Structure 1
Amino acid sequence: MVPHFPRPGAPDEAPGRSARPPLSVAYLSASGALGGAERALLDLLAGLRAAEPGWRLSVVAPEDGPLLDAVRALGAEARTLAFPPALAALGDAGASGGDGALRLAAGMLRAAPGTARYLGRLRALLAEMRPDVVHTNGLKLHLLGARAVPAGARVVWHLHDFVSTRRAMAGLLRRAAGGVSGVIAVSRAVAEDAAPVVGATVPVWTVYNAVDLDRFRLIGPVAELDAMAGLPAAPPGTLRVGLVATMGRWKGHGVFLRAIAALPRELSLRAYVVGGGIYRTAGSEVRQDDLRRMAAELGIADRVGFTGFADDAGAAMRALDVVVHASTQPEPFGLVIAEAMACGRAVVASAAGGAGEIVTPGHDALAVAPGDVEGLADAIRRLAQDPVLRDRLGRAGRETAVRRFDRARLAAEVAPLYRTLVAPR
């Protein structure tokens, strides 16, 4: 039988009903760094801590670091359970067919002994923690969590990725979905993509990501991007355009650099690549040295700064006049877009997939097709030459972020889901 999910935002307690006992939720993260999926997890934790202070919320990550530091700051429990090296390096990037699929298969064989030992340790840890719900955040943990869950606990997958085109991973998820009680998808596009993979008996619920509107705000600290990039200060009046992203291969760094190269030299602007490597999965990220080499070959080395990872993404965005999102594939959600809008920046978005759901082109962002170098260059040129348009998009973007992406919304949508899953059937 398909569990009935309450309407998003439905009250957790009906009038006159006695308060129900607090829940224990264990979150399994595939990384201890702070990528988009991990920031989304923190926003969910913050919302639940405020709405359900009696709940026990715990996060298990493969290493200590920024994620668990932030978890502790929220007053939640933080634990580490290290991946064995072969499992940490295993990923399905580029494994949709041919040699990529063979490399993935070989990597899975190498990782198998260590994965079996890790799975035993994970089972023991979860048995000790005795959660009501195991909420997995990352493809590896979707697979492992479904096999390690204690008796009586419910498993929720939080999908931040399109999975149907990742044939090897889709097959593994399909086989593991029998142990899953429900799936949270970060956009309608992800939900529609996941439904055939997980099957008709597993409900899929769309819950958009959120933004910390106190951290990503109009006025606040401003990063010194030139100093971070080792550049002299830009002349007054220079337009600052930045790609803020992880170093994932599909985040469009090459598209961004080629678009900057297509702009006329007399346009007074400086471009920034804001971000650094955070994941250990083999082959999943581009290298900054390669991007520097590309900028030199395009003749724009003097117009581009590489800042590395920014500890305060909000401060980095407030230092920019235009924030560019240039993903070459449909974006599952596009958290950077929502964060930049919250900061009141003019945004150019590669509006496909979930990213197409969170912007209204021409109202709160300019939209281009994924991989469209000429379209991206034209959008940047328009914004460089039209400060009124930049201001209008920034104001509308902030209004959109406040209305749609306040993280307090998450608890109102997710807490009833948890309650329904653990209720006696």
Structure 2
Amino acid sequence: MRVLFLNPVGILGGAERALLDLMACLRQLDPSLSLLLLAGSEGLLVDAARALGVDARLLPLPKELSSLGDSALRGPTSWETWRFARSLLPAPALLAGYGRALRHEVENLRPDLLHSNGIKTHLLSPVTAGLPLKRVWHIHDFLSERPLVRRALGTLAPLASAAIANSSAVGEDARGVLGRVPVHVVYNGVDTERFAPGVPADLDALAGMPPAPAGTLRVGLVATYARWKGQDVFLEAAAALTRLEPTVSVRFYVVGAPLYQTPGSQFTEAELRQLIDHWKLSGRVGLVPFQAEPAAVYRALDVFVHASTRREPFGLTIAEALACGRAAIVSGASGAAEALTDGTDVLTVPPGDSRPLVAALRRLLTDAPLRERLGVAARQTAVERFSRERYAREILDVYRTLRDKR
């Protein structure tokens, strides 16, 4: 069976790291599979896929298309609506040209199954109409929260042979949009051998800070700079904790970068530095650039924080941090939290509110045995529920079901 993956970008966000783990394990589970990849922009994804033996190619998505996104239109103002409508003006002509190139590539590669790994590539499904292949849409988002996408994918749903959702919440949401398309819930997986307890990174050096005093506790948020990832909430909580526990020696780290091209959807580094100054956290907070290999970053943390301000489809960083044996505070509205137990392997907090986050931080930073117990349980949970082998096996079952229906 020849499987062609379509990914809108070449950067290594959560969906792309999950895709790499999937491709690595599929080759182990079924060496007869032929795996191919078309990526819509340059980045580490293509090189990493090639290192796995995947036939990976670049088919650059025009910048005007790659920067489009209607996620900012949740509760839009008239200005946002007008600006987004204006950005759509060149889209039909650009889509037509890119669609012809994409169809040509797909025809030449002759896949049996096309696995679309992003909304933009789901929307390009019509260009493959009439070709003898199955189409799987991998859903990493709450489609109903994106008004234009919801309507478009609802219309295009008959082209999808099946959908894969990365959490039960995403699956329930997708069924409401996609109608009769079979939706399979498969939690993301991580490499639990690479993401494991081990040698930590020097976070102070990475952040350009002087070494912290011995015994300093380290708390970190690892995420892209998307505004809904909650860097602002994290910094507000850091300021409150500093006031409430002045004798606790602690440093905070914001790890990541503005990886995506959608304008206005991400914090800039300058904005984060302004927030650090606003909360009088200079010297207590370090900004660590994006790390292509983040396992050592997680290992360096005493407490990992997931602070997304709205419900998160899954939250791959949660699974990665848990696999590294870190005590973690996570949003209870994340998809990964469906498989976790508050007080057993994590502490959960409601999204978007710094006050319960402060309470959870005080609890963990002043209770070393609790941190140790949660870290041990976190590692066990990650191995049992979030391994990439389990992830790939369940997706391969979906592929084989579609193959057998041909």
- Fold-level similarity (TM above 0.5): yes
The answer on 1:411 being equivalent to 2:389 is: no
Q: State the alpha-carbon separation in 2 of the partners of residues 59 and 102 from structure 1.
A: 35
Select which of 91, 94, 98 maps to 2:72: 94
8 Å contact 1:243–1:256 — kept in the other structure?
Answer: yes
1:125 is matched with which residue? 105
Displacement of 1:257 after TM fit?
0.1
8 Å contact 1:146–1:155 — kept in the other structure?
Answer: no
- Tell me the secondary structure at the aligned position of residue 94 of structure 1: helix
Select which of 161, 164, 185 maps to 1:181: 161
- Pick which of 108-117 and 257-266 moved more: 108-117
2:209 is matched with which residue? 231
2:258 is matched with which residue? 277
8 Å contact 1:28–1:59 — kept in the other structure?
Answer: yes
The answer on 1:205 being equivalent to 2:170 is: no
Measured against aligned partners, the alpha-carbon deviations of 1:107-135 in whole angstroms (never above 9, x if no partner) come to 22222211211111000000000101110
The answer on 1:399 being equivalent to 2:380 is: yes
Displacement of 1:195 after TM fit?
0.5
Q: State the alpha-carbon separation in 2 of the partners of residues 386 and 90 from structure 1.
A: 46
Displacement of 1:224 after TM fit?
1.4
The answer on 1:58 being equivalent to 2:36 is: yes
Counterparts in 2 of 1:149 and 1:217: CA distance versus 1, 3 Å: farther
Displacement of 1:149 after TM fit?
5.0
Q: State the alpha-carbon separation in 1 of the partners of residues 119 and 233 from structure 2.
A: 27
Select which of 200, 208, 214 maps to 2:193: 214
Select which of 374, 385, 388 maps to 2:369: 388
2:301 is matched with which residue? 320
Between the aligned residues of both structures, percent identity stands at: 49
2:87 is matched with which residue? 107
Q: TM-score, normalised by structure 2?
A: 0.96
Displacement of 1:166 after TM fit?
1.1
Displacement of 1:378 after TM fit?
1.2
Q: State the alpha-carbon separation in 2 of the partners of residues 341 and 234 from structure 1.
A: 24
Q: How does 1:312-391 map to 2 (within 5 A)?
A: 312-391=293-372
Measured against aligned partners, the alpha-carbon deviations of 1:386-423 in whole angstroms (never above 9, x if no partner) come to 01000000000000001111111123211221122133
Displacement of 1:243 after TM fit?
0.4
Displacement of 1:362 after TM fit?
0.3
- Tell me the secondary structure at the aligned position of residue 371 of structure 1: coil
8 Å contact 2:102–2:127 — kept in the other structure?
Answer: no
Displacement of 1:53 after TM fit?
1.1
Displacement of 1:47 after TM fit?
1.3
Q: State the alpha-carbon separation in 2 of the partners of residues 358 and 64 from structure 1.
A: 34
Q: State the alpha-carbon separation in 1 of the partners of residues 384 and 392 from structure 2.
A: 16
Q: State the alpha-carbon separation in 2 of the partners of residues 151 and 385 from structure 1.
A: 61
1:163 is matched with which residue? 143
Displacement of 1:262 after TM fit?
0.2
1:195 is matched with which residue? 175
8 Å contact 2:12–2:292 — kept in the other structure?
Answer: no
Give the residue type in structure 2 aligned to 1:170.
R
Select which of 60, 64, 74 maps to 1:82: 60
Give the residue type in structure 1 aligned to 2:182.
P
Q: State the alpha-carbon separation in 2 of the partners of residues 51 and 341 from structure 1.
A: 25
Select which of 21, 27, 44 maps to 2:5: 27
Q: TM-score, normalised by structure 1?
A: 0.92
8 Å contact 2:8–2:41 — kept in the other structure?
Answer: no
Q: State the alpha-carbon separation in 2 of the partners of residues 146 and 66 from structure 1.
A: 28
For structure 1, which runs of at least 5 residues remain unmatched after alignment? 1-22
Displacement of 1:150 after TM fit?
5.5
- Tell me the secondary structure at the aligned position of residue 83 of structure 1: coil
Select which of 116, 124, 145 maps to 2:96: 116
1:251 is matched with which residue? 229
Q: State the alpha-carbon separation in 2 of the partners of residues 290 and 93 from structure 1.
A: 21
Counterparts in 2 of 1:149 and 1:241: CA distance versus 1, 3 Å: farther
Q: State the alpha-carbon separation in 2 of the partners of residues 259 and 397 from structure 1.
A: 23
2:152 is matched with which residue? 172
Q: How does 1:11-50 map to 2 (within 5 A)?
A: 23-50=1-28
Q: State the alpha-carbon separation in 2 of the partners of residues 125 and 229 from structure 1.
A: 43
For structure 2, which runs of at least 5 residues remain unmatched after alignment? none
Displacement of 1:353 after TM fit?
4.1
8 Å contact 2:123–2:156 — kept in the other structure?
Answer: yes
Measured against aligned partners, the alpha-carbon deviations of 1:315-343 in whole angstroms (never above 9, x if no partner) come to 11011111100000001011111110100
Task: Name the Cα RMSD after superposition.
Answer: 1.3
1:262 is matched with which residue? 240
Displacement of 1:283 after TM fit?
2.0
Q: State the alpha-carbon separation in 2 of the partners of residues 92 and 156 from structure 1.
A: 22
Displacement of 1:65 after TM fit?
2.0
Q: State the alpha-carbon separation in 1 of the partners of residues 340 and 126 from structure 2.
A: 34
- Tell me the secondary structure at the aligned position of residue 355 of structure 1: helix
